[in-house]
Chains A and B, each alone.
Chain A
């Protein structure tokens, strides 16, 4: 079945540091890949997505590239801000209209 493995947290970085949160997946066929973010007290929000190999999703300075050869979708940001502190979830959706499969989430804390 489908599965998502993401970097365990918590991750603590200083403001303006470079961020990478690793995510790898197992799936049959060619799934769509997502990153969701959950800010304190709020629901999960879609951050970015990619639907085919080599696609790059980007939003709010975050990027992730769909790498089929390494079955990865790592989240990166060049310079993090305190406001990026949140929990980040990697997820995939299989072919057709299948359910979302989530990773365990990575808590990110940015200190000034």
Chain B
């Protein structure tokens, strides 16, 4: 089946630094990628939706200047957490879809655990 990878799986950084998380679709072309975050014992919350070659659409309350999303190719999207702070510590999950904008055919990555000291 379709496989989505994330790198790194775990990252620890100092407050004020930036962290980049990669999401790759390994065996299919992803026209749409989604970024979620999950706090302990909470639901997955959609942060943004990105279509290849265009700007990401952010959910209400998500700071676009803090969470930079780039979807430059059909197999790679990146999420950069800029000037990270401890409250940004979370589990970040990406998913990829083969049909533009469709949420029925999402394939999920294994997630990235970010800890900001």
Q: A residues bordering B, Cβ < 8 Å?
A: 4, 8, 32, 36, 38, 41-46, 49, 89, 93, 97-105
Total residues of chain B contacting the partner, CB 8 A: 21
Is there contact, CB below 8 Å, between A43 and B43? no
B43 touches A104 (CB 8 A): yes
Q: How far is the CA of A107 from the CA of B108 in the complex (A)?
A: 18
Q: Contact: A43 with B44, CB < 8 Å?
A: no
Partner-A contacts on B (CB < 8 A): 4, 34, 41-44, 46, 49, 59, 93, 95, 101-104, 106-111
- Inter-chain CA distance A45–B110, complex, in Å, is 10
Do B101 and A43 have beta carbons less than 8 Å apart? no
B43 adjacent to A102 (CB under 8 Å): yes
Given contacts A97-B101, A99-B103, 18 further A-B contacts (CB under 8 A): A41-B110, A43-B4, A43-B107, A43-B109, A43-B110, A44-B95, A93-B103, A97-B102, A98-B103, A99-B49, A99-B59, A100-B46, A100-B103, A100-B106, A101-B43, A102-B43, A102-B44, A105-B43
